[in-house]
Structure 1
């Protein structure tokens, strides 16, 4: 009797195991027989939004005023009275030229003036004495006329002598060379003891005003024309003279101060086909150096209905740029686009999209053009982990029948 019960238990155990295996096998065959589900891809829906129209252009820094310090009289340089590379104020003494010859010239001119003034007094008195005498025929009319003419000539000599004195004073003043403008003074181009001003106005140094600074840059005329048409048509909102300019120095760092556009030239350079523009930047810390090549980004308008896509969604190849979209039929399609401008981590699409398209951002490696795909809203990295866990959870019940059958068989064996 015990032996028959044991046989029945073993038979029940074997039957349960075979049933579980058969159930799993049937499930596997059923799964293998159906089509695989479409891959899941993260998408963003393209919607219009305001975006600044920004152009990046090359430029060069220059001081707003540059003055050459020159010797205006001939002489020997006695001293340099400024620090090379330092700041100078307008009127500050920079060089001194030997004044001795000009002091002597001034003294001679002053003496000549005194002599002319004395002669003028004598001539005037003589004319005044002759005037009543000519009425009584004590002197001839000719003698009186000569006296009056001499008095006039003496007055002219006084005026000429005064001009000579003024000229001598000016030349003496030129021996003290001062800064014509306030700014940063460069290195001295002459040393003490050098003869300057011999036949020409010798350049002594250069002074440049470096706060604020100008940056001069060029923009293709075609871009300017296209932007103007867009503003006129209402597609782009103009800045109304308030265009902001951002400056990037040679190491790629953005300058902390924002500039303003001063002017745009009215003519096109025939050799380059470009228009010259100029912007002004504050330079309180003297960080910007004249002559440096830089890049500027200028905001020339606002596109109120711009279309943007994440940078990772754009695919660039030999045929140009394109994006992958999930169409209304659920299939993947490649759409050629033009995306000339980057804003942050997005590209501004100017051609190819109309708005409302579902652009694939994540899962590009899993798709094929023309094949179906399941579009889900794109989430940042790490946000898909819970979904993966949920997707794998239903796999557990598939093995449950086998485990329950084994437990039941073991229970029956113990009872037996």
Structure 2
């Protein structure tokens, strides 16, 4: 019976295999293995995160970590980092910033005073020349000939005058002796006077001829820089020719004509009258760099009704020639200086509904909104008349999110303290190493 049952089972198995049934697929087993691996990796990552994650206890015991009163970690979410500065005492210059133009004290158009051909040119364009240096030569030969003629005429007329004077002396002696008529003696006196006039005219002609010869030699009337020449050697020029021969500009010293608004005229005139002169700085057209420093002594006699300003002339030595004629500059006129006043940077001043105020940092690292009265100001600092005292720390940066009573931090102080601690630690380590050695 048992043998028959076993034989029947073998037939059934054989029939199943013959029917095309395959063994269980291996793909399912591979997928299960990958799922197991992923689960193991996730468990490992969770364990690592739990072990390595910084907890509150570790943070509290980390050196330098801020704590609250209960010993736990401080909440920094409401602390605003700011930059501060200390209210100090100093001097505040009162400076009037205006506009101006560089104008030469002397600007000469060199024009010929005689007519003729240019024989020579002795300067180079752009050359610096001194007073009396010869610039150009106009053909002097016609004028030298005229001078010789005038001198000859003068000599002849002078000889006639001398003879007439001798005759007049003789006639005057004879008339006292009643040896000649009074009319003859009187006529001789008139002859002498006539010849004296002729000689005087001849002398004037000689002087004119000498001037014409001198004018042939064109010289520099002042020290300065010669510009571009208009006519070259060989050209024919006329006396008083339009446009001249060149332009000579005095560069040292040079002046700046600056405009003072009439609202500031009273203060400027008062200071100029009491001090005699005021200091002025010429800044470049971008108002970024000081070019030269000079003085103001002259104030115009009237206000320009079209612009509402009064002109002043500032004088600069200009030894380095950094000021150039017709250059636009920004003069900074020093009117006065306030001494020993409270000063804060301009960016510390805030404006609210009730006027100007500053944020003052309190000892508990909170800020208070302190109203202030301001005085003179420039682009860098402002005078504080009242509201704060010397030594107060005012916020200069980071004020956008501040409110009265807000908690603040000062990164600069923290960095300074940390640097000091590190320096002390380094010094201690070095000392320990030295003792050990």
* Cα shift at 1:153: 1.6
* Cα shift at 1:170: 1.0
Aligned equivalent of 1:244: 279
Aligned equivalent of 1:348: 382
* Cα shift at 1:53: 1.4
Given that 2:111 and 2:239 are in contact with CA atoms closer than 8 Å, whether structure 1 keeps it comes out as no
TM-score between both structures, scaled by the size of structure 1: 0.69
Matches within 5 A, 1:194-343: 194-198=235-239, 203-225=244-266, 240-241=275-276, 243-250=278-285, 254-255=289-290, 257-314=292-349, 323-325=358-360, 332-333=368-369, 341-342=377-378
Q: SS of 1:260's equivalent? A: strand
Equivalenced residue count is 352
Larger Rg: 2
Over 3 Å counting, the alpha-carbon distance change for 1:86 and 1:322 in structure 2 is: farther
Aligned equivalent of 2:226: 185
Over 3 Å counting, the alpha-carbon distance change for 1:76 and 1:322 in structure 2 is: farther
Aligned equivalent of 1:57: 98
Q: Alpha-carbon deviations, 1:274-325, whole Å to 9, x = none?
A: 2322222222232321111111223221122544323443458999976445
* Cα shift at 1:271: 2.1
Aligned equivalent of 1:411: none
* Cα shift at 1:174: 0.8
Distance in 1, matches of 2:89 and 2:288, equals 31
Matches within 5 A, 1:3-18: none
Alignment match of 1:108 (pick from 149, 152, 155):
149
* Cα shift at 1:88: 1.0
* Cα shift at 1:380: 6.2
Q: Alpha-carbon deviations, 1:335-362, whole Å to 9, x = none?
A: 587687335xx43146785656753235
* Cα shift at 1:179: 0.7
Q: Alpha-carbon deviations, 1:181-233, whole Å to 9, x = none?
A: 1111111122333333356676222212212222221121213435779x8xx
Distance in 2, matches of 1:198 and 1:279, equals 36
* Cα shift at 1:94: 0.9
Given that 2:258 and 2:311 are in contact with CA atoms closer than 8 Å, whether structure 1 keeps it comes out as yes
Larger relative contact order (Cα-Cα within 8 Å, sequence gap ≥ 6)? 1
Over 3 Å counting, the alpha-carbon distance change for 1:380 and 1:79 in structure 2 is: farther
Task: Give 5+ residue unaligned stretches, structure 2.
Answer: 1-54, 58-67, 423-437
Given that 2:283 and 2:291 are in contact with CA atoms closer than 8 Å, whether structure 1 keeps it comes out as no
Alignment match of 2:196 (pick from 130, 144, 155):
155
Q: SS of 1:244's equivalent? A: strand
Distance in 1, matches of 2:267 and 2:363, equals 34
Q: Alpha-carbon deviations, 1:251-284, whole Å to 9, x = none?
A: 6553465322333345332222223222222222
Task: Give 5+ residue unaligned stretches, structure 1.
Answer: 1-20, 232-237, 390-416
